[in-house]
């Protein structure tokens, strides 16, 4: 992201302190970094093209109802795509198959036939299946949304199974413009892995016992994807000298200090909570924090903006508690 092109309707980046002063004795202070997308597009009829890789876990642990429900979920998604969209279908157990390579979504009957023919298999190389889906989306068109939708119970027992390494790969693909949404199926799904992949991959996470449980979530997901205005969104908190800014929650922060956030639709917001470690200060005012945002707009153009520095008065510990 080296060049910057302003959006017709610019997002807002702000720093909101949870207390309107800092203690002269120093300590910690919570600050919310907020990104607010524009409320309305200049042309409300615009629709972002979708490129989806639908990755289905067909391993032995998914045999029976979980696999049948996963196939129903994928059918639900495919039948709601438009000719301008593209889709691939990947299936995996301990081996990966791609019954449908990336192609226009208007070939829905061939897609549905390939999905219905899937049968359960062996052990679960979840990472290899997910990665094959991500590779289907590599080098996509800049104005389209590229997302892996992984449907699984998350019981990875073959190939790469280290969660932290899987999360790292999800974050690396997010930096390339490929996001990850996960769908947990069945009662015994691995919530930590599935939620962590979605968080690191900049997508959403859903859970359901059946396809019927998930239909509303999928419709919400597709609606979100069709109306995205900020993608590959990341923010960089810039602490003042002597101040340490600690991101809170399950977030991905690279060596340069950038924190990845989820894509944003028109009119939506994203938040990052920070805990500031502040040294003792004699009095007056103190500059604590600034922030920078980088993203791509719906046309794939780079944008960049900066938040006004957060400056707060320094007060006594007793006054701060009033």
Question: What is the distance of C-alpha 245 from the center of its chain?
Answer: 22
Contact between residue 152 and residue 182 where contact means Cβ atoms under 8 Å apart: yes
Cα(104)–Cα(82) distance, integer angstroms: 9
Q: Report the pLDDT averaged over residues 287-308.
A: 86
DSSP bridge partners of 28? 277
- Greater confidence, 226 or 30? 30
Pure H helices in 79-151: 108-116, 126-136
Tell me the CB-side half-sphere exposure of residue 299, using CA atoms within 13 A.
Answer: 12
Does position 6 have pLDDT exceeding 60, yes or no? Answer: no
Record the pTM: 0.67
| pLDDT at residue number 108 | 64
CA distance 26 to 314: 9
Burial of 52 (0-12, 13-18, 19+ CB in 10 A): buried
């Amino acid at each position: 992201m080296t060049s910057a092109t302003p959006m017709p309707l610019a997002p807002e980046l702000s720093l909101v302190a949870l207390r309107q002063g800092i203690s002269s004795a120093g300590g910690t202070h919570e600050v919310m970094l907020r990104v607010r997308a524009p409320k309305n597009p200049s042309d409300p009829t615009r629709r972002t093209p979708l490129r989806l890789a639908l990755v289905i876990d067909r391993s032995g642990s998914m045999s029976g109802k979980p696999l049948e429900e996963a196939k129903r979920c994928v059918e639900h998604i495919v039948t709601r795509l438009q000719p301008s969209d593209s889709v691939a279908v990947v299936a995996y157990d301990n081996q990966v198959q791609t019954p449908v390579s990336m192609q226009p979504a208007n070939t829905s009957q061939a897609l549905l036939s390939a999905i219905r023919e899937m049968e359960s298999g062996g052990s679960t190389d979840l990472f290899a299946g997910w990665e094959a889906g991500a590779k289907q989306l590599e080098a996509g068109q800049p104005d389209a949304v590229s997302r892996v939708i992984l449907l699984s119970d998350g019981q990875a027992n073959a190939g790469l199974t280290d969660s932290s390494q899987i999360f790292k790969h999800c974050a690396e693909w997010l930096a390339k413009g490929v996001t990850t949404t996960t769908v947990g199926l069945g009662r015994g799904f691995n919530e930590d892995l599935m939620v962590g992949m979605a968080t690191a991959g900049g997508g959403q996470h859903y859970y359901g016992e059946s396809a019927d449980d998930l239909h509303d979530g999928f419709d919400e997901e597709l609606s979100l994807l069709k109306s995205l205005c900020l993608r590959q969104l990341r923010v960089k908190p810039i602490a003042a000298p002597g101040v340490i800014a600690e991101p809170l929650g399950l977030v991905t922060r690279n060596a340069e200090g950038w924190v990845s956030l989820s894509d944003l639709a028109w009119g939506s917001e994203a938040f990052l909570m920070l805990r500031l470690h502040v040294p003792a200060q004699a009095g007056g005012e103190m500059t604590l924090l600034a922030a920078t945002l980088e993203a791509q707009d719906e046309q794939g153009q780079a944008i960049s903006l900066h938040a006004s520095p957060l400056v707060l008065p320094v007060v006594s510990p007793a006054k701060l508690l009033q």
